[in-house]
Amino acid sequence: MADEPLLKVQAVQTFYGNIRALDGVDVHVNRGEIVSLIGANGAGKSTLMMTICGSPQARHGSIIFDGEDITQQPTHLIARRRIAQSPEGRRIFPRMTVYENLQMGAGLDNLRYFKEDVEKIFTLFPRLKERQSQRGGTLSGGEQQMLSIGRALMARPKLLLLDEPSLGLAPLIVKGIFEAIKKLNKEEGLTVFLVEQNAFAALRLSDRAYVMVNGKVTMTGSGKALLANPEVRAAYLEGGRH
């Protein structure tokens, strides 16, 4: 069981109508790892993330999480297996307060561990503590991202999925958020699967990474190896370094 990866995506194909968005993707994430998925716009990165969450569901292939097949499960049941997601575009609840947003994250355990967990989140992101009674929609982009990650963490996830956490944020804030992710991984052994366009930051953070092009994984390796790889440098780093 310990050697078995936490998440195993095998030969997954996902379609939007007749358009094939994922074309036989094989990805796995081991326990305690940070794995990132980089690629250009429209490569299918977010689709893979959403397929793992069951919306849309994979038409072919299988997704095994923690030894169980979740390919055909509805989204909310997948979430109840402790796969927490900070979705693309953050998707916080804008008219609810920061505090209520965090409560929503702790709904799986019916707020049993809420008190201790919320303190943890506030230590990780002190800005959220200052803003706790403010409505989600009034936060800045970076604070919203923190809230989105914080809300996902409130579910005590086994696997944290992060979809473009750096999108539209200033480099300094991105650095802060990535440091927080690193810290969670180091101190609590949190397993993270990260989708990023900001390849440089993602690869530096990750233990392993995948490169995706047109719905297929074309390259894989350790974060360091990919950072040094001339092809990756040319395609994703030199032009796109932030």
Partner 1 sequence: MTQPSALENSGLMMQAVKEAVFAGAVAFGLFILYVGIETYQDINNALVWRTRWGLLFSFVAIAAFGRFVVVGFIKPHLDKRKRAKAKAGIPEVTDHKGFFHRHFLKIALVLLLLYPPLSVMLAGTQGSLKYVDNFGIQILIYVMLAWGLNIVVGLAGLLDLGYVAFYAVGAYSYALLSEHFGLSFWVLLPMAGILAAFWGIILGFPVLRLRGDYLAIVTLAFGEIIRLVLINWTVVTKGTFGVSGIPKASFFGIWSFDVGAPNNFTKAFGLSMSSAYYKIFLFYLILALCMLTAYVTIKLRRMPIGRAWEALREDEIACRSLGINTVTTKLTAFAIGAMIGGFAGAFFATRQGFVSPESFVFLESAVILAIVVLGGMGSLTGIAIAAIVMVGGTELLREMEFLKHVFGPDFTPELYRMLLFGLAMIVVMVFKPRGFVGSREPTAYLKERKAVSGSFTKEGHG
- Choose the stretch contacting partner 1; rule: CB under 8 A; options: 107-115, 173-181, 191-199, 215-223: 107-115
- Provide, rounded to whole angstroms, the least separation between the CB of residue 1 and partner 1: 24
Smallest distance from the beta carbon of 167 to partner 1, in angstroms? 16
Phi, psi for residue 63 in degrees, rounded to 5: -125, 115
Contact partners, residue 17, CB within 8 Å, separation at least 6: none
Query: Among residue numbers 165 through 224, which ones bind partner 1 (CB under 8 A)?
Result: none
Q: Confirm if 197 and 164 have CB atoms less than 8 A apart.
A: yes
45 touches partner 1 by CB under 8 A: no
Cα-Cα end-to-end distance for the chain = 39
Task: Scan for tokens 């095998």, then name that residue.
Answer: 10
Residue of the chain from 2, 133, 230, 239 that contacts partner 1 (CB under 8 A): 133
Q: What is the separation of C-alpha 136 from the centre of its chain, rounded to a whole number of angstroms?
A: 20
Contact call for residue 233 and partner 1 (CB under 8 A): no
Q: Which stretch binds partner 1 (CB under 8 A): 5-13, 59-67, 133-141, 192-200?
A: 133-141
Read off φ and ψ for residue 92, nearest 5 degrees. -75, 170
Tell me the C-alpha distance between 58 and 122, whole Å.
37
Q: Figure out which of the listed residues 4, 11, 16, 55 binds partner 1, where binding follows CB under 8 A.
A: 55
- Asked if 156 interacts with partner 1 (CB under 8 A), we say no
Q: Does 104 bind partner 1 (CB under 8 A)?
A: yes
Least Cβ distance, residue 134 to partner 1 (angstroms):
6
